[in-house]
Amino acid sequence: MTIKQYAFLAHAHLRAQGSASLTRSQIHELLAAAAGFSTHAAFHHQAVWCDVAWRDTGLTPDEYGVIQRCLHFGMPPDEAERSAQGLVSFLGASGYAPVRLEELIAAFASDEDDWEEAEEPGPAVAADWVSTDLVGRMQQGFDAMLGEFPLLLEGLEAAAARGLASAHLAIAYLVEPYASLSHEDDRRFGQELRRRGQWSAEPVGFAEIAAGTDRFVRVVAKHRYHLLAAARGGDRRAMLLTADSYSDPGVLDLEPSDDMDPYDMADLADAHGRPELAYQWLTVLAEEGDVYAMRALIEDRGETLFRAWVWIHLSRLLGRDLSQDRHVAINEDGSEYDDDVGGPAYVGGDDGIELASLTAEENSRAREEAAQLFAVIEGGYEPT
């Protein structure tokens, strides 16, 4: 069934109930009102219809909302009430349920730690029926999904065509189980996008996949297209994923947050010619007590002499003095040497960092700043 056919059936039912004055566009408005939306446009922005019977969801149609929309159309109160009752009767008998895009995303993401941690406005938890009756059935196979959910897939593609990042992300989620490639393959794809200077891909429709050959290739292309489109549309979750999969630089323009790995962000910034951002992310790590980041800032990032001494003093407070040699026995592969295992040992580790001296006043300030950072790391107080 298509969305137009669904509206046609609802329209025919209401006409049979005596509501002959309603137009097809008004039917769409009433269906949206029954789903709890003030307008059809609001429904289009946040939800789609899906191929699950309304009666199986536990949802209750908003009869009052339907009455209010009928009154808005200029219906007399008694006719508005009769039309609302007729629509509720239709929905209970043969209507299909609405699903919010954010609920659909949450249901797919329930087992994905990375996506769950990303903060995005919208419902944090999907309704049980979305996770079981909808998503559970969609994961029975790609052919089954195409055959059982034409209403949902049509709605999602229409919403994506209108530029809704959440619709793009929902589609990427539902095809992802059927589009798995190695991380290295995804990296190569990202390198090709970077070479072209265009972080997008060609759209692929469900109908094209159903009718064509090379299905796996097309499914992979569809997943990439919608994930990148969601990222280009500004969806934070998608941007984090495309950064991880394809080294997409879009995430570099987001405000830093706990769901971003500083080392990954620094590497991404370097890969895209943004050394100033790499420096900022390494500084975040250093201020959190990462001694390796402190060494990188001093040796590789042109750190000022004053800041370099701040890191030296902080490393001393943390018991990892960067000014001292640190050499250890290692195996050939770089792992720590184990006497019990035996075999040839090699020398690994780092030489101590040598810096020019600061003036007594500057050194005192560097020590004080290091002490403040150390207190924050130890949980002593929040920086001002």
b/e per residue, 138-152, with b = 16+ CB within 10 A?
beeebeebeebbbbb
DSSP string, 11-53: HHHHHHTT-TT--HHHHHHHHHHHTT-SSHHHHHHHEEEEEEE
Mean pLDDT score, 96-116: 77
Average pLDDT of span 349-372: 88
What is the residue whose two structure tokens read 């959910």?
149
| In the block, residue with structure tokens 């420096």 | 279
Q: Which residue has the tokens 């998608």?
A: 238
Q: What is the pLDDT of residue 343?
A: 66
Token readout for 167 is: 């619709």
Q: Calculate the average pLDDT of the chain.
A: 85
pLDDT digits (tens, 9 = 90+) for 20-40: 788 889 999 999 999 999 999
What Rg value do the Cα atoms of the chain yield, rounded?
A: 29
Q: Tell me what pLDDT residue 115 has.
A: 39
8 Å CB contact between 31 and 39: no
Residue 347: its pLDDT value, please?
Answer: 56
Count of H helices and E strands in the chain? 21, 4
Name residue 49's beta-bridge partners: 98
Residue 112 has pLDDT above 80, yes or no: no
User: Are 249 and 193 contacting, i.e. CB atoms less than 8 angstroms apart?
Assistant: no
Is residue 267 within 8 A of residue 282, CB to CB? The reply is no
Q: Is 92 helix (H, G, I), strand (E, B) or coil?
A: helix
Does residue 327 have a pLDDT over 60? no
Q: Dihedral sign, CA of 169, 235, 118, 40? A: negative
Give the number of other CB atoms < 10 A from CB of residue 211.
Answer: 10
Query: Taking the model in full, what pTM does it have?
Result: 0.78
For residues 278 and 367, what is the distance between their CA atoms, to the nearest angstrom? 25
**Distance between CA atoms of 296 and 124, rounded to whole angstroms?**
39
Is the pLDDT at 113 greater than 50? The verdict is: no
Determine which helix (DSSP H) or strand (DSSP E) holds 98, and give its type and residue range: strand 96-100
Return the structure tokens found at 229. Answer: 């489109």
Nearest-angstrom CA–CA distance, 57 and 53:
7
Kindly report the number of other CB atoms within 10 A of residue 253's CB atom: 10
Distances (CA, A) of 353 to 302, 324, 373: 14, 7, 20
* Number of C-beta neighbours around residue 51 at 10 A: 20
- How many angstroms separate the CA atoms of 140 and 138, rounded? 6
Between vectors from CA 42 to CA 37 and to CA 47, what angle results, nearest 5°?
80
What's the whole-number mean pLDDT along residues 70-87?
92
Residue with tokens 């991380």: 183
Lowest mean pLDDT of 179-183, 218-222, 300-304, name the range. Answer: 179-183
Is pLDDT above 70 for 317? yes
